[in-house]
Amino acid sequence: MSATVTTIGNWLNAATAFFYPEICQLCQTERTTAGNGFVCSNCWQQVRFIRPPFCERCGLPFEGDITTKFECTNCREMDLHFSSARSAVVAKTAVLEIIHRYKYQRHLWFEPFLADLLLREALPVLRNQKWDFIASVPLFPTKEREREFNQAERLANHLSTATKIPVNTKLLRRVQPTLTQTRLTKEQRASNMKNAFAICDGIKLDGKKIILLDDVFTTGATTSACAKILRKAGAGEVCVWTVARGL
């Protein structure tokens, strides 16, 4: 990291600390810093990392002992277009609150915390694999203008910096203003994402291997719809990484 970047980072941390006291932005009691995403050690204890056993296809964690590879019911019922999906943590308690506040209330100081969760799990896996690009799930232009950022793209940039795999924001575009998936059933989610995405003009992937990045994975409807478009454009393989996994 260059001295200029380090200086800018230090200045931003100082500026953030000026406006926001160095106190946990969840419990409002314990001290912490901007570098920790304003999440204290006590709130960190609510984080549940996803460890084996889990579904080999979508990464859904499974309670109990399993000695063989397995695929969950959701994957058997859905026509998924990615080769595999992995998530760093379970989308519950503090993690879920942080993601909602980050996305919908623009609490960007939580970004270092979310990026840290992703990198802790993704780096050991991706370090020994060969991938050509990281693509983030796109927002519809109107929604991105309203939100002023795309959380998936910002997290993808963190993963790119750590892995040296380039982010390519010119692969996918969102062509329909879909409903928020949060309160929809599995079937409604799949219908909601139908024809929601398109490949950008002139893109031919010619066997490229793509990592698709999003913040939360629930049924896989969104990421599968994106993967389908990428595969149609010639991608050789698409895997999915998200920060959190809904259960």
pLDDT digits (tens, 9 = 90+) for 88-104: 999 999 999 999 999 99
Tell whether 23 is covered by a domain. Answer: no
Helix (H) / strand (E) containing 68? none
Tell whether 61 is covered by a domain. Answer: yes
Which residue segment(s) compose the domain that 239 sits in? Answer: 46-245
Number of domains the chain contains? 1
Tell whether 239 is covered by a domain. Answer: yes
22: Cβ–Cβ under 8 A, 6 or more apart, which residues? 31, 32, 33, 34, 38
Tell whether 16 is covered by a domain. Answer: no
Q: Which residues of the chain have pLDDT under 50?
A: 1-6, 8-9
Tell whether 1 is covered by a domain. Answer: no
Tell whether 124 is covered by a domain. Answer: yes
Tell whether 226 is covered by a domain. Answer: yes
Q: What is the dihedral of CA 56, 59, 62, 67, to 10 degrees?
A: 20
Tell whether 62 is covered by a domain. Answer: yes
Structure confidence at residue 2 (pLDDT): 44
Structure confidence at residue 15 (pLDDT): 54
**CATH code of 62's domain:** 3.40.50.2020
Structure confidence at residue 67 (pLDDT): 66
Each residue of 196-230: pLDDT tens digit?
999 999 999 999 999 999 999 998 999 999 999 99
Structure confidence at residue 78 (pLDDT): 85
Structure confidence at residue 20 (pLDDT): 63
- Tell me which amino acid residue 223 is: T
